[in-house]
Structure 1
Amino acid sequence: MATLVTLGALAPAQASVDRPPQFIVMGFDNCTELERWQELTDFAAELNKGGDRVHFTFFVSGSNFIADASRNIYEGPHQRRGYSRINFGGTSEQVRKRIEYVNALYRDGHEIASHAVGHFNGAAWSVGDWEKEFRAFGEILKNVGPNNGLAGSKLAFAVSGVIGFRAPYLAKGPGLYRALKALGFRYDTSDVSHAAAWPEKIDGLWRFNLAMLRIQGSGRGTLSMDYNFFVAQSRAAYDPRRYEMAREQTLQTYLHYFKSNYAGNRAPLHIGHHFMNYAGGAYNEALKSFARAVCGLPEVRCVTYAKLAEFMDQQNAETLAAYRREILRT
């Protein structure tokens, strides 16, 4: 069913700066299941058939690029060798297929970013711990062919081109940010802000934070991430009878988030989802309905985090200050 978006007048341009585009960034974590790679490949192709309407950021876990039989090449900080909190990559053939999906999406303009390797809670990790995990991530991606007995298979991008990160469990700490800066990352997406907050660059890193939202139809608080909706709506227990409620409330919450910012201060929208189909896929169906409704509207840019970082870097301090002042009037 098509979703119609009815809007009032667009936000007026400020006297001193041009009105910015409405950026919307949709990212996916873990990125394990091959059927979801196919589904999102097809969905992006559907939306981009008549022109570039949407590009996604995929925060991939390094464990997904290690076949089960090769798991002992990885040892996470303070963990036994060959252990990960999430699945390894399955068979070598499944890893090969995952590489093909990643390469095709990358060549189509989507972004590959980092979700570390073993999906551990690193809130208490030191700088050295995080650097060990990021070095492992880089080596896993760089050697994905040899590690898995896949002669000729490799990723279509250099590991140095991975510039963004989202922490598993959004678990962050001082050690993380010092490691990200030392290793040349440009942005992090592991924190939370007001829905109308413009990003800030702190100690050299853009902080692209998830939003605090109120669920339409219930008033409960959540973050702009599927799992948080799942917890808020059903305590993370799936009841098929509540599928439509979950889908519709999520869609309406995202549309309200969009309308408020689009007709307000134009702060970027940050939406995080997982490949896991929580609540029978209700949240991912809501996200697809949302993208169909808003991506392609006037002055809307559904882009990767890398593209948003480029835009932010191009703005001078006075322009960014003008954007941020508008939060007081939303």
Structure 2
Amino acid sequence: MRDFSRRGAIGLGLGAAAAMGITGCGSADGPDQGNPGPKKNEAGAGGGTVKPGKPEVRLIGDGSTADTGPQPHQPPAPVPLQPGETPPQFVVFSWDGAGEIGNGLFPRFLKLAKDHGAGMTFFLSGLYLLPESKKDLYRPPNNPVGASDIGYLKDENVRNTLKCVREAWLDGHEIGTHFNGHFCGGSGSVGKWTPEDWQSEIDQAVSFVTNWRTNTGFTDLEPLPFDYRKELTGSRTPCLLGQDNLLPTAQKLGWRYDSSSPGGLQQWPVKRGGLWDLPLQSMPFPGHSFEVLSMDYNILANQSKNTTRGAPSNYPAWRSQATASYLGGFKRAYETNRAPLFIGNHFEEWNGGIYMDAVEEALKGMADKKDVRLVSFRQFADWLDVQNPKVLDKLRTLGPGQSPTGGWATYLTGV
């Protein structure tokens, strides 16, 4: 699995996005309206405060980020399952890279989430907030200075990414990390990194997020409304590589989960290295005897053999197959063991944008069902943390597609 950010973009362009009513993040009705960012002298090394017609915020560092208080639009505090209670059906939609690269997909899915009351996780690549003119600031482990396998965004797209990330957090979504250079092959692959390498990569990712104002010179944008060092509690590694050596570093940093395992099953999760292990999962793949990993690129790889531009005549069938796969995975869990479903995505228009359409249709097909909770990884971890460990142990005994003996009214009674 690879991240093809900025490559192979076809299908829905900016004009088409505007025609669909997608005007970008921080537009006329967005959180940036009438609120320019702090002036340079308002954000010294010790922080400061600014009152732009909203509740007071505490600027952090150079004013790239700010403490604005509790995150809005969070679900009620989780409570333990009661004896005989049916577990909720959790679904997590997550996004690798999470850059607004000019195709209107970030705002499109922010709107979709808002329309359906969904929480999501956006795994932000730190390099998406670093201008290419400052790429020498990035010193990737075991790779040349400034190297990156996903490239750098244009300055205008760095600006748009900042606006979208800000809006996402204010809408209640989680901002995780997808790290920086996305190295998947050769001697510098993340699969060969040590815990110390991961520490360096994380420190740099955090630095790019918390110092974007200095690095970009942008003075007309508001700060990101969160303390990223406290906000960051989980990740997904490039190409799902290197988790074993990441976990000791993540645990030391106090992270709560990781979503880098490939090939997980639709079962209730366990902890690895002190963190919740929340993997991408195998799910039904209509028309095949094998299952497919719950990520857009993995469906693409099986449909068009790793190329992002297959024959357009196949797009309608492939779109339907992708949608059916997501909904098949959902149905299998929803009607049996209620294991959470984790879906990974990229803001890309591979094969004419069919995977984005499939994700949207799948979310719509799940959102209105009883007991369904569309949440972020962090919100799901919150729920896991308050459950009776014995209840979770019993839930884990149910395999993919396995229903509780006697039904939920009796299965968890007396645990």
Q: TM-score, normalised by structure 2?
A: 0.72
Cα pair distance change 1:96/1:194, threshold 3 Å: closer
Mapping of residues 1-330 of structure 1, within 5 Å: 16-36=83-103, 38-46=104-112, 48-49=114-115, 53-91=117-155, 93-121=156-184, 122-151=190-219, 153=221, 154-160=223-229, 161-237=231-307, 238-327=310-399, 329-330=402-403
Q: Comparing both structures, which one devotes a greater share of its residues to helix?
A: 1
- Asked if structure 2 preserves the Cα contact closer than 8 Å seen for 1:226 and 1:278, the reply is no
- Asked if structure 1 preserves the Cα contact closer than 8 Å seen for 2:113 and 2:119, the reply is no
- Asked if structure 2 preserves the Cα contact closer than 8 Å seen for 1:75 and 1:82, the reply is yes
Structure 1 Cα separation of the partners of residues 274 and 95 of structure 2: 24
Cα pair distance change 1:296/1:44, threshold 3 Å: farther
Q: For residue 123 of structure 1, give the secondary structure of its aligned residue in structure 2.
A: helix
Cα pair distance change 1:147/1:47, threshold 3 Å: closer
Q: What displacement does 1:98 show? A: 1.3
Residue of structure 2 equivalent to 1:5 = none
Question: Unaligned stretches of 5+ in structure 1?
Answer: 1-13
- Asked if structure 2 preserves the Cα contact closer than 8 Å seen for 1:221 and 1:232, the reply is no
Q: For residue 246 of structure 1, give the secondary structure of its aligned residue in structure 2.
A: helix
Q: For residue 95 of structure 1, give the secondary structure of its aligned residue in structure 2.
A: helix
Q: What displacement does 1:173 show? A: 4.2
Cα pair distance change 1:300/1:247, threshold 3 Å: same
Task: Deviation per CA, 1:24-67: give whole Å up to 9, x if none.
Answer: 0010111234345x434334434534xx5212111111111111
Q: What displacement does 1:247 show? A: 0.7
Q: What displacement does 1:272 show? A: 0.4
Cα pair distance change 1:172/1:266, threshold 3 Å: same
Cα pair distance change 1:194/1:98, threshold 3 Å: closer
- Asked if structure 2 preserves the Cα contact closer than 8 Å seen for 1:220 and 1:232, the reply is no
Q: What displacement does 1:194 show? A: 4.6
Q: TM-score, normalised by structure 1?
A: 0.89
- Asked if structure 1 preserves the Cα contact closer than 8 Å seen for 2:102 and 2:157, the reply is no
Q: What displacement does 1:113 show? A: 0.6
- Asked if structure 2 preserves the Cα contact closer than 8 Å seen for 1:17 and 1:322, the reply is no
Structure 1 Cα separation of the partners of residues 108 and 344 of structure 2: 19
Structure 1 Cα separation of the partners of residues 209 and 121 of structure 2: 17
Point out 4+ residue stretches in structure 1 off by more than 6 angstroms: none
Letter in 1 for 2:380: L
Q: Which has the larger radius of gyration?
A: 2
Question: Unaligned stretches of 5+ in structure 2?
Answer: 1-80, 185-189, 404-415
Q: What displacement does 1:207 show? A: 0.5
Task: Deviation per CA, 1:203-223: give whole Å up to 9, x if none.
Answer: 210000111123112334320
Identity of aligned residues (%): 31
Q: For residue 34 of structure 1, give the secondary structure of its aligned residue in structure 2.
A: coil
Task: Deviation per CA, 1:119-157: give whole Å up to 9, x if none.
Answer: 123111111111000000111111011111112643221
Q: For residue 288 of structure 2, give the secondary structure of its aligned residue in structure 1.
A: coil
Q: For residue 18 of structure 1, give the secondary structure of its aligned residue in structure 2.
A: coil
Structure 1 Cα separation of the partners of residues 168 and 243 of structure 2: 31
Greater Cα offset, 225-234 or 195-204: 195-204
Structure 1 Cα separation of the partners of residues 83 and 397 of structure 2: 12
Task: Deviation per CA, 1:279-304: give whole Å up to 9, x if none.
Answer: 21111110100001111311000111
Q: How many residues align?
A: 313
